[in-house]
A and B are shown apart, each in its own frame.
Chain A
Amino acid sequence: MNWLSQIFAIAAFNLRSIPERKGAALSATVGIAGVAAVLVGVLAIAQGFRRSMTASGTPDTAIILRAGADSEMTSSLSRDEIRLISDAPGIARDTSGAMASAELFVIIDLPKRSTGTSANVPLRGVGSAAFEVRGDITMVQGRRFELGRNEVIVGAGAARAFAGLDVGQRIKIGMNTWDIVGTFTAGGGLAESEIWTDAAVLQPAYNRPEGCQSVYAKLTSPEAYDAFKDALTTNPQLKVKVGRLSEHYAEQSTATTDFITTIGVFIASMMALGALFGALNTMYGAVAARTREIATLRALGFGSGPVIISVLTESLVLALIGGLVGAGLAYAAFDGYQAATMNFQTFSQVTFAFAVTAPLVFTAVIGAAALGLIGGLLPAFRAARMPIAAALRESA
């Protein structure tokens, strides 16, 4: 028999005997399934969060902040500066003028629907061109707010996560009351966690009569970005920081995403270690239980190479089953699950959905396979190196 058919023969024999050792096989598989499920589940949080943060960052949109500001909250731009920015080359224009929106970002306190405790909800005052600049805002209920009025529209994520944000209700902020007139989606992006209103109405309410914190500008094309940025940063009358919106979002989500990922990987690694011990136990047990059989095969002339590979195959098959089952469970249980958490960098809530992505599932399955291989390696070598005569005498 050549090498390959030897492997197949032994492997098939091994796999067929698995039902006899159900308990051990099951425990290894379940162990690995558990690791896969937890890894996928926790990383789905990080993925979902990041997706929410970056979904609507297009390469032809730019965000301008004060130089040295690390987020909108710590930035401020005066009316003159806003005018200079809007006149820069590269900004797309339509019939109403430059597609640039000067915006104000504040936080208000609203109770979370799930716990009733307060949360920092972002309230954004936008310029009249905001909808054109973003390009992906769609009203799903009600209508847009009218400029100049105390009206707000609520992002779909915010409406889901926080209490008191249904169309028709009113919110009281300080001395002002605002009507909720609509709900919107933004392609799954960050805006869905926010409440929007006219910046011009928000400014006086927050004692900022002139000036905003940021400008969002739509460029004529992604290539126009460099010229646009140069024009602004070389202008001696401006002290600003320019960035592509997509990069800005990615950067704003780094701290929280990294935090979740770090903890998630830590947990999954420890579980993987535990599962590895379980897998080793199972495979050593499997080899020990079949000492005489393996010795017989070798006495008959099967080489040790095929013996090793067949043990590894068995371990791999069990682990892959575990990995797929675990990832599958995680997908069924978690994908799309709505949640909200605080973005440390902006100190405000971000709503997101757990995202069990294909790369994530792939990673989990690869990890499971690795566990299977490592768990089977040492037992496989032991099986191949047992002195045949002694093994034949040993009782099962």
Chain B
Amino acid sequence: MKYLGLIWSNLKRRKLRTTLTVLSIFVAFLLFAFLFAIKEAFTAGVRIADADRLIVRHKVSLIQTLPVSYTQRIANIPGIEAVTHMTWFGGIYQEPKNFFASMPVLPENFFDLYPEYSLPAEATVLWAKTRNGAIIGRVLADRFKWKVGDRIPLTSPIWGEPKGATAWEFEVCGIFDTTKKGADTSGLYFRYDFFDEARERGKGEVGWFTVRAHDAKDAAAVAEKIDAEFANSPYETKAEPEGAFAAGFAQQVGDIGAIMVAVLSAVFFTILLVAGNTMSQSVRERTEELGVLKAMGFSNGLILVLVLAESCVIAVLGGVAGLALAWGILQAGNPAPALLPVFYVPNQALTTGAVLVIALGIVVGALPALAAMRLRTAEALRRNG
């Protein structure tokens, strides 16, 4: 609107000071977005979990294996639409710090249970034909620049050496992507039949089952039925909805949410003080000019709005830039795939951030704006009178 020119000119009054204030707000919101992304990295699993998907694992702990024969027994339980299994392979590529998740799966129905992943048709065909074939996620492919046809050797401290070789060698048959934001594409999946034949120990054992219930509403009931089926056997199970499973996992790392809130509170409190001080100073320097504006007929209300608008412009410039940069950096690619396989700025962070930007602008400008509004014109024009 028409006052924008005046507001902008006032901000240019002390360019250095305005720039520094904008920069500190920029940094605060950059941090805000990154922290949100880190929190999302830990909790994305919970959010994207399908309501009708269950994870069935050994009751005592996830690291205990279950018999592969359970597959058919679970499939026979009423209310269940599909069953597949996965096992933690723990493969190491060259050295431990290159770590990524690797698992033997059932190619024939893996994608039925995980429809959020998509694989090109020719890759599916190739995988079915290649005994030691593997499919890798987009993030993994980008990380090591792997393509279809590449051979990847892995060692597995857990499962030892495969029959007749010192390392497990896999051939990349395809790269899978996802349309669901937050889904993990940093893993490698290979064929269970190859795995079971080549492994020297633990034959017939699998890590856990992923089960889809006919109806999400029945998920809890189905879980109970599964556990009942295997109760009092040498391998008791614990079945739970995928969301609960993921939540438990995130909780194991710690209360990330609380830590983040604490850090961000400290950051914002500090920024508030710094920016607030700048605004107050800037208004105090302009007492006379504000008096002149009032003499000209600018009403008290208008003066209040002009000062608030100034602080909001500073907040918006810094805040939006900070949010945008963080979003942009992570959108371009995951800079730390080893540390955080899923790393992006969730939309919620952007909307919350935008609200906070405006709130910051208003809070920072409130006291100076009120002071400006309440200036007694005659006193402000102190050289007059």
Contacts and interface: CB of A to CB of B under 8 A. Distances in A.
Interface stretch (B57-65, B124-132, B177-185, B298-306): B57-65
B215 to A, nearest CB: 26
A37 B60 CA distance: 41
A341 B271 contact: no
A69 interface: yes
A109 B60 contact: yes
Interface string B120-149: 000000000000000000000000000000
Contacts of B252: 112, 117-120, 341-342, 349
Contacts of B61: 106-109, 120
Given A27-B277, A285-B17, A70 B267 contact: no
A115 B273 contact: no
A69 B159 CA distance: 10
Interface residues on A, range: 35 or more
A138 interface: no
Contact of A281 (B21, B155, B253): B21
B1 interface: no
A301 interface: no
Interface string B251-263: 1111100010011
Interface in A269-302: 270-271, 273-275, 277-278, 280-282, 284-285, 288
A379 to B, nearest CB: 10
Contact of B247 (A117, A255, A267, A275): A117
Q: Which of A31, A41, A266, A339 has the most CB of B within 10 A?
A: A31
Contacts, number: 149
B116 interface: no
Interface in A166-198: 173-175
A24 B63 CA distance: 57
A340 B27 contact: no
Given A68-B157, A267-B31, A284-B16, A175 B270 contact: no
Given A273-B27, A342-B252, A267 B35 contact: yes
A367 interface: no
Nearest to A114: B255
B28 A274 contact: yes
Nearest to A24: B277
Q: Which of A262, A271, A340, A349 has the most CB of B within 10 A?
A: A271
Contacts of B255: 114-115
B17 A270 contact: no
Given A23-B281, A70-B96, A259-B339, A30 B273 contact: yes
A347 interface: yes
24 contacts: A27-B276, A27-B277, A30-B269, A30-B273, A30-B274, A31-B270, A41-B263, A70-B92, A74-B157, A112-B251, A117-B247, A118-B248, A119-B248, A175-B234, A175-B236, A262-B339, A271-B270, A273-B27, A277-B21, A277-B274, A278-B20, A281-B278, A282-B277, A285-B278
Interface of A: 23-24, 26-28, 30-31, 34-35, 37-38, 41-42, 68-71, 73-74, 106-109, 112, 114-115, 117-120, 173-175, 255, 259, 262-263, 266-267, 270-271, 273-275, 277-278, 280-282, 284-285, 288, 339-342, 347, 349
4 pairs of A and B residues whose beta carbons are closest in the complex: A74-B157, A274-B27, A277-B24, A278-B274
Interface of B: 14, 16-17, 20-21, 23-24, 27-28, 30-31, 34-35, 38, 59-64, 90, 92, 96, 155, 157-158, 232, 234, 236, 238, 247-248, 251-255, 259, 262-263, 266-267, 269-271, 273-274, 276-278, 280-281, 339
